[in-house]
Amino acid sequence: MAFTDITHIIWDWNGTLLDDAAYCLDLTDRLLRIFRLQPMETLENYRERFGFPVIDYYGQLGFDRQIFPEVAVIWMDAYMKNERSIPLHADAAEVTEKIRQMGIRQVIVSASKLENLLSQLAARPQFAHFDPPRGLGDIYAGSKKDIALKWMADTGADPKRTLLVGDTLHDLEVARALGCGCILVENGHQSASRLRAAGARTVPDLTGLYALLRDGAAE
């Protein structure tokens, strides 16, 4: 795939455009302390442990799987309470606007509940030029493959000219299932070493992604 051939970009939201890894670490460590479990304490530890499906990640942290629904509700309520304090990645607005000027169609497809995603985006008009966002029907952060496939079918996106931009191994899995290209940023929810070990092509940040699109490097 030549990056100059890209016509459609599927964006992940959390960690990719929204810089919420540190915020999520803080909330999760608070829960771990409440349940008398070992907190992760550093962003480096968090990035080495976070993953999908979230129920498995919670289990690895020590939460009983039977109380996962309860813990997920507590966590999400706390997340949404102060979510407007979460910044975008510093280059997110500028890079996505430059991509718009290149004529590339963009959409956010997230493992977040659609209602929550819409609330977050309403307060961040920088992405108003995107297609309407696609999210899940609940808060349990399952797979987003099917909703990404639906958007591609609706828009007529050619997988060979579509790029998924994310920050986790789940994003890589989704891209492979869609048959499209994938770039993962290294400043999100999982460490660069984990991403690269899985064979992902990575960039340090979104400015690095734009450089690929601008210069037309081959994937």
Q: What is the pLDDT of residue 158?
A: 97
Q: What is the pLDDT of residue 143?
A: 64
Average pLDDT over the chain reads 93
Mean pLDDT of 205-211: 97
Give, in order, the Cα–Cα distances in Å from 63 to each of 32, 72, 79, 123, 187. Answer: 8, 11, 18, 33, 26
pTM attached to this predicted model: 0.93
Phi-psi region of 199 (alpha: psi -120 to 50; beta: other; left: phi over 0): left
> Taking 60 as the threshold, does the pLDDT of residue 141 lie above it?
no
Kindly give the residue spans of alpha helices, DSSP state H, lying in 39-185.
43-49, 54-61, 68-81, 92-101, 114-122, 145-155, 169-178
Mean pLDDT of 2-21: 94
> Taking 90 as the threshold, does the pLDDT of residue 202 lie above it?
yes
Torsion, Cα 41 42 46 47, to 10 degrees, reads: 180
Share of the chain above pLDDT 90, in %: 84
Q: What is the pLDDT of residue 217?
A: 55
Q: Which of 33-47, 63-77, 127-141 reaches the highest mean pLDDT?
A: 33-47
Q: Cβ-count burial of 13 within 10 angstroms (0-12 exposed, 13-18 middle, 19+ buried)?
A: buried
At 22 the three-state DSSP class reads: helix
Q: What is the pLDDT of residue 111?
A: 79
Distance between CA atoms of 153 and 150, rounded to whole angstroms?
A: 5
Distance between CA atoms of 54 and 52, rounded to whole angstroms?
A: 5
Buried b (16+ CB within 10 A) or exposed e, 195-217: beeeebebbebbbbbbebbeeee
Q: Which tens digit of pLDDT belongs to each residue from 69-105?
A: 999 999 999 999 999 999 999 999 999 999 999 999 9
Q: How many helices (H) and strands (E) does the chain have?
A: 10, 6
Distance between CA atoms of 106 and 127, rounded to whole angstroms?
A: 9
> Taking 50 as the threshold, does the pLDDT of residue 48 lie above it?
yes
> Taking 80 as the threshold, does the pLDDT of residue 44 lie above it?
yes
Q: Residues 6 or more apart from 34 whose CB is under 8 A from it?
A: none
Q: What is the pLDDT of residue 4?
A: 81
Q: What is the pLDDT of residue 218?
A: 45
Mean pLDDT of 46-68: 95
Q: Which tens digit of pLDDT belongs to each residue from 142-177?
A: 568 888 999 999 999 999 999 999 999 999 999 999
User: Which homologous superfamily is 3-19+88-215 in?
Assistant: HAD superfamily/HAD-like (3.40.50.1000)
Q: In the chain, where are the structural domains located?
A: 3-19+88-215, 21-85
Q: What is the pLDDT of residue 219?
A: 45
What is the maximum span of the chain, computed from C-alpha positions, in angstroms?
51
